[in-house]
């Protein structure tokens, strides 16, 4: 079944063989944080109890059927997830309302917001995109509901100005005294009814909850306690510091030793053991990783090399992951690869067979492979084996990213846990761990690179397609690295038509590679003046990084240029500065060093106002022909880091001065001296 794009008010049935889904809310302006929430509703369109409200402070329903998985960054911006086990939903639950909320600001500032319903393999089943939001701080995007034994999904698109607390209250949730509550004594307002199969679809769902029909169900019993919607502020612990060494050459002992680490199985065993031990000791780290693979919030335990019978043979996954929450026990099988180790289809399918037989939840692969898009898998498997068990992938880069984020930007309060996580990160960053950020460009890299230089590369060649796919993976890796370093969600920007179509995406990248000899990545970093473009030019053996920002819309060309130069005081002199003037075809470009010495070199003889600046810097590409981390990849990452730090980071967009009040005219009544 292909993905269906829903318009407001439309519904569609989910495939009969789908038992578990993830609901993903994604947005493009990643400096804002959106939280997903779900409400399990009865026939009267209300929750049966406060436990049926699933969100960041209550991450799982009482029966474990609905779980809040948290937020994360993707190349499309940012996203937040809710997981739903359709088979575990109680019969009295008629619908699951799917909402999002924003703590500060409004949804109108987020641009387009998308709701995706995906299956266990990450395939999108339904999509709803809205740009209708204005002042709302909570939004009901859609709902999954049961009609005549068939699960359906419907797009709603309805907002609340009263935030998450107001939305939850209207569905019958009792919010505690710290949140805002209605004081007029009125009954909660009923949310809109789902459309039954065969009924006419509403073209305009209710936009204002206050105008909705009031609930006619019996009043809820008063409760002394309710749900708290206020968030806890994350605290930041300090890892242990060692200060008694005589000089910098004294290195503290490693918690996870790298001495004697070989390759292959020994490397995988050590990395797996270090990972599981750290997850068991540092609960926020375990929660962050478990959320990525669909596990509930609960007590985590891991077990290494557990043998299972499969026919007459035995299969031994690298680890078994278990999470306990109440009466629910979630289990996943983990297959780990390090270094250049590649995941094998047969091995993953064997684990899927075991997991299905044991009624486990998921098989997880962990390797240095970074799929080009979220939900994509490095190895294709028989999709029939995914009917009962999900298959998810983690990269070591994502594991490193989560560790860095927790250490640098809060989430761990215990100093000893912070030290242990920092030691695990220290282990991962050592070359002997085998957990590299990005291994290589693939076995076809050298052949494709030579063909590009010779002019014989063709976009339809399968080798070019594979290099294109690997380049998009490297672009996503760049976004992950910057996200971890900066603590904000860095987006790898792709045209919308390519986000869910890997074949078309790779074809477009391969086409440009064959025609122009270029590979390009676009990174969007919150609070920067412009996007960061990274272009690898294979024919000239160089890497170009650039960014474009709007010039001030007032003042002379000289003043606009001075505004830019003040922000680039520490930038390298070889940065090219291009000024685009308002008169068509009127542009000028000089090196920054030249412009510093003679600002008129960029403006003299030009007509019109400067409307934008483009800054570009060229870096040498790795000399080695192999596409390994020591050559091409290190050149790309080093160029990206250098250009961001020296050029993009100090730039701020133009902010005009506030409008001035006119001076009062003599004799004006407002021109009255103070008493």
As a whole number of Å, the CA-based R_g of the chain is 28
pLDDT at 640: 94
Q: DSSP string of 499-561?
A: HT-HHHHHHHHHHHHHHHSEEEEEEE-TT-SSPEEEEEETTTTEEEEEEEEEPPSSS-HHHHH
pLDDT band at 159 (very low <50, low <70, confident <90, very high): confident
- Strands 576-581 and 113-118 come out as unpaired
Please provide residue 134's backbone torsions phi and psi, each rounded to the nearest 5 degrees.
-130, -85
How far CA 266 is from CA of 316, 408, 423, 505, in Å, comes to 15, 31, 19, 37
511 vs 554, which has greater pLDDT? Answer: 511
Please provide residue 23's backbone torsions phi and psi, each rounded to the nearest 5 degrees.
-105, 120
pLDDT at 653: 87
pLDDT, tens only, 87-104: 888 889 999 999 888 876
120 vs 531, which has greater pLDDT? Answer: 531
Helix (H) or strand (E) holding 564: helix 557-567
Angle formed at CA 471 by CA 465 and CA 475, multiple of 5 degrees: 145
Q: Name the region of 172 (left: φ>0; alpha: ψ -120 to 50; beta: rest).
A: left
Closest among 646, 636, 284, 650 to 476, alpha carbons compared: 636
Task: Count the neighbouring beta carbons within 10 Å of the beta carbon of residue 640.
Answer: 23
pLDDT at 191: 40
pLDDT, tens only, 461-495: 889 988 998 898 888 888 888 887 787 778 888 88
pLDDT exceeds cutoff 60 at 619: yes
Q: Is 39 helix (H, G, I), strand (E, B) or coil?
A: strand
CB 298 within 8 A of CB 279: no
- Chain length of the chain: 675
Residue 80 is given by DSSP the state E
pLDDT exceeds cutoff 50 at 177: no
| 283-292 vs 265-281: helix crossing angle, rounded to 10 | 120
334 vs 201, which has greater pLDDT? Answer: 334
pLDDT band at 202 (very low <50, low <70, confident <90, very high): very low
Q: Is 624 helix (H, G, I), strand (E, B) or coil?
A: coil
Query: Picking from 233-242, 509-518, 604-613, which range would have the lowest pLDDT averaged per residue?
Result: 233-242
Q: DSSP string of 236-270?
A: B---------SSTTPPPPPSS--TT--STHHHHHH
Q: How far is CA 373 from the centre of its chain?
A: 11
Query: What percent of the chain has pLDDT above 90?
Result: 30
pLDDT exceeds cutoff 90 at 332: yes
pLDDT at 575: 94
pLDDT, tens only, 35-80: 888 999 998 999 988 889 988 888 888 877 888 876 655 545 567 7
641 vs 398, which has greater pLDDT? Answer: 641
pTM above 0.75, yes or no: no
673 vs 4, which has greater pLDDT? Answer: 4
pLDDT exceeds cutoff 80 at 418: yes
pLDDT at 78: 62
Q: How far is CA 514 from the centre of its chain?
A: 31
Q: DSSP string of 386-429?
A: GSSSEEEEEEHHHHHHHHHHHHHHS-B--HHHHHHHHHHHHHHT
pLDDT band at 352 (very low <50, low <70, confident <90, very high): very high
pLDDT band at 580 (very low <50, low <70, confident <90, very high): very high
pLDDT at 3: 54
Q: Which long-range contacts (CB under 8 A, 24 or more apart) does 619-625 make?
A: 619/542, 619/543, 619/544, 619/545, 619/643, 620/541, 620/542, 620/543, 621/536, 621/537, 621/538, 621/541, 621/542, 621/543, 625/446, 625/449, 625/450
| Strands laid side by side in the 328-336 sheet | 299-304, 319-325, 328-336, 362-367, 390-395
**310-317 mean pLDDT:** 87
Query: Picking from 115-119, 335-339, 568-572, which range would have the lowest pLDDT averaged per residue?
Result: 115-119
Q: Is 633 helix (H, G, I), strand (E, B) or coil?
A: helix
CB 309 within 8 A of CB 345: no
303 vs 674, which has greater pLDDT? Answer: 303
- Strands 328-336 and 319-325 come out as antiparallel
Q: Which long-range contacts (CB under 8 A, 24 or more apart) does 554-560 make?
A: 554/656, 557/581, 557/603, 557/606, 557/609, 557/610, 558/599, 558/600, 558/603, 560/609, 560/610
Give the sign of the dihedral formed by CA 616, CA 617, CA 618, CA 624.
Answer: negative
Closest among 213, 154, 163 to 188, alpha carbons compared: 213
| 415-428 vs 265-281: helix crossing angle, rounded to 10 | 160
Task: Count the neighbouring beta carbons within 10 Å of the beta carbon of residue 598.
Answer: 10
Report the alpha-carbon distance of residue 294 to residue 276 in Å, rounded: 17
**414-439 mean pLDDT:** 86
Computed over every residue of the chain, the mean pLDDT equals 81
Report the alpha-carbon distance of residue 144 to residue 21 in Å, rounded: 10
Report the alpha-carbon distance of residue 184 to residue 204 in Å, rounded: 28
Report the alpha-carbon distance of residue 532 to residue 157 in Å, rounded: 33
**392-415 mean pLDDT:** 83
pLDDT band at 32 (very low <50, low <70, confident <90, very high): low
pLDDT exceeds cutoff 90 at 401: no
Taken in order of first residue, the domains within the chain and their CATH numbers are 4-211 (2.60.60.30), 265-433 (no CATH), 445-648 (no CATH)
pLDDT at 222: 39
pLDDT at 508: 92
- Alpha helices for 87-127 (secondary structure H): none
Closest among 472, 510, 465 to 492, alpha carbons compared: 472
pLDDT band at 190 (very low <50, low <70, confident <90, very high): very low
CB 319 within 8 A of CB 312: no
pLDDT at 659: 75
pLDDT at 182: 39
Query: Picking from 382-391, 559-568, 627-636, which range would have the lowest pLDDT averaged per residue?
Result: 627-636
- Alpha helices for 568-631 (secondary structure H): 592-597, 600-603
200 vs 63, which has greater pLDDT? Answer: 63
Report the alpha-carbon distance of residue 477 to residue 118 in Å, rounded: 23
């Amino acid at each position: 079944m292909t993905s269906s794009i829903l318009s407001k008010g439309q519904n569609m049935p989910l495939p009969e063989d789908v038992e578990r889904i993830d609901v993903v809310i994604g947005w493009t302006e990643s400096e804002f944080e959106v939280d997903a929430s779900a409400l399990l509703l009865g026939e009267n369109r209300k929750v049966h109890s406060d436990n049926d409200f699933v969100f960041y402070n209550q991450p799982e329903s009482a029966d474990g059927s609905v779980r809040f998985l948290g937020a994360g960054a993707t190349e499309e911006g940012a996203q937040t997830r809710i997981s739903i086990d359709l088979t575990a939903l109680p019969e009295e639950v008629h619908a699951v309302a799917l909402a999002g909320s924003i703590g500060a600001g409004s949804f109108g500032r987020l641009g387009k917001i998308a709701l995706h319903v995906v299956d266990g393999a990450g395939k999108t089943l339904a999509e709803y995109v809205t740009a209708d939001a204005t002042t709302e701080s909570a939004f009901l995007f859609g709902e999954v509901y049961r009609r005549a034994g068939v699960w359906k999904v419907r797009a709603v698109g309805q907002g609340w100005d009263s935030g998450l607390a107001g939305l939850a209250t209207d569905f019958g949730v009792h919010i505690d005294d710290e949140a805002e509550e209605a004081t007029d004594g009125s009954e909660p307002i009923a949310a809109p009814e789902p459309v039954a199969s065969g009924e006419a679809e509403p073209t305009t769902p209710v936009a204002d909850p206050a105008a909705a029909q009031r609930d006619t169900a019996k009043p809820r019993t008063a409760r002394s306690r309710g749900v708290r919607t206020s968030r806890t502020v994350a605290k930041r612990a300090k890892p242990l510091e060692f200060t008694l060494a005589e000089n910098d050459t004294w290195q503290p002992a490693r918690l996870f030793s790298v001495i004697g680490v070989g390759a292959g199985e020994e490397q995988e065993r050590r990395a797996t053991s270090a990972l599981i031990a750290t997850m068991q000791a540092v609960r926020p780290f375990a929660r962050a990783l478990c959320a990525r693979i669909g596990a509930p919030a609960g007590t985590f335990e891991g077990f290494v090399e557990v043998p299972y019978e499969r026919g007459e043979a035995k299969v031994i996954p690298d680890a078994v992951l278990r999470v306990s929450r109440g009466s629910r026990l979630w289990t996943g099988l983990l297959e780990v690869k390090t270094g250049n180790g590649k995941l094998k289809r047969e091995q993953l399918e064997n684990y899927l067979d075991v997991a299905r037989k044991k009624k486990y939840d998921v098989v997880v692969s962990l390797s240095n492979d970074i799929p080009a898009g979220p939900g994509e898998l490095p190895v294709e498997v028989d999709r029939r084996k995914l009917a009962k068990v999900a298959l998810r992938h983690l990269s070591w880069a994502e594991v490193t990213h989560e560790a860095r984020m927790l250490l640098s930007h809060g989430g761990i309060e215990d100093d000893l846990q912070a030290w242990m996580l920092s030691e695990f990160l220290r282990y991962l960053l050592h070359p002997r761990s085998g957990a590299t950020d990005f291994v290589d460009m693939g076995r076809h890299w050298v052949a494709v690179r030579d063909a590009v230089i010779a002019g014989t590369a063709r976009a339809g060649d399968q080798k070019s397609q594979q290099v294109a796919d690997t380049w998009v993976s490297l672009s996503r890796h760049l976004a992950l690295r910057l996200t971890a370093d900066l603590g904000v969600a860095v987006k790898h920007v792709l045209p919308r038509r390519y986000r869910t179509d890997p074949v078309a995406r790779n074809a477009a990248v391969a086409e440009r590679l064959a025609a122009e000899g270029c590979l390009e990545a676009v990174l969007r970093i919150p609070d920067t003046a412009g996007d960061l473009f990274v272009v690898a030019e294979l024919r000239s053996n160089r890497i170009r990084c650039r960014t474009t920002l709007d010039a001030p819309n007032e003042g002379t060309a000289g003043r606009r240029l001075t505004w830019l130069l003040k922000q680039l005081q520490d930038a390298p002199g070889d940065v090219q500065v291009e000024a685009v003037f308002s008169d068509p075809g009127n542009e000028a470009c000089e090196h920054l060093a030249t412009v510093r010495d003679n600002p008129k070199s960029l403006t003299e003889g030009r007509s019109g106002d400067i409307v934008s600046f483009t800054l570009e810097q060229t870096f040498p590409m790795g000399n080695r022909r192999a596409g390994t981390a020591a050559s091409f990849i290190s050149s790309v990452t080093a160029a990206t880091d250098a250009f961001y730090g020296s050029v993009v980071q100090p730039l701020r967009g133009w902010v005009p001065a506030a409008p001035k009040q006119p001076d009062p005219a003599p004799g004006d009544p407002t021109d009255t001296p103070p008493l």
